[in-house]
Amino acid sequence: MAKDNSYAPDCIDRIIEIVCKNTGVDQSDLIGKCRKRELADSRKIVIYLADKYLSVRMYKVAEKIGMKGFNNPKNACICLMQCDKSFRNRVEIIEAEFMLN
């Protein structure tokens, strides 16, 4: 699936919904300011997938999930995927579900 040329807010919402469902995180917690690892990892996945599949300015995605910056989470997600096989598998499962919908 290539990047879509149009900004579709419902696509970001769908990514958030799928990530929350697969990671067991509540959407209201994801958008909050808590820095627990499971929430931070879920935010990283949202940023990573939005960057990969949507033609959306990343600051808009970061804003939507209550983050100030977006570059470090995206890079952190890529690093985690390279180092942590279970994290990579989780991202691949979430990515496959996003692509099916």
Residue 31 burial (CB count, 10 A): 16
**Residues 58 and 74 sit within 8 Å (Cβ to Cβ):** yes
Which pLDDT score is estimated for 4?
46
Sign, CA dihedral 40-98-74-47, equals negative
Which pLDDT score is estimated for 66?
79
Please spell the DSSP secondary structure of 45-63, one letter per residue: HHHHHHHHHB---HHHHHH
Which pLDDT score is estimated for 71?
67
Tokens 């067991």, residue? Answer: 24
DSSP structure class, residue 66: T
Which pLDDT score is estimated for 73?
73
Which pLDDT score is estimated for 69?
67
Write down all domains in the chain, each with its CATH number in brackets: 9-100 (1.10.1750.10)
Which pLDDT score is estimated for 39?
92
Q: pLDDT tens per residue, the chain (101 residues)?
A: 545 444 466 889 999 999 999 999 999 999 888 889 999 899 989 989 998 988 888 778 888 887 776 667 778 888 888 999 999 999 999 999 998 87
Task: Summarize pLDDT for 57-67 with one digit per residue, the tens.
Answer: 877 888 888 77
Q: What angle do CA 55, 5, 57 make, to 5 degrees?
A: 25
Write down the pTM of the prediction: 0.83
The encoded tokens of residue 70 equal 């977006």
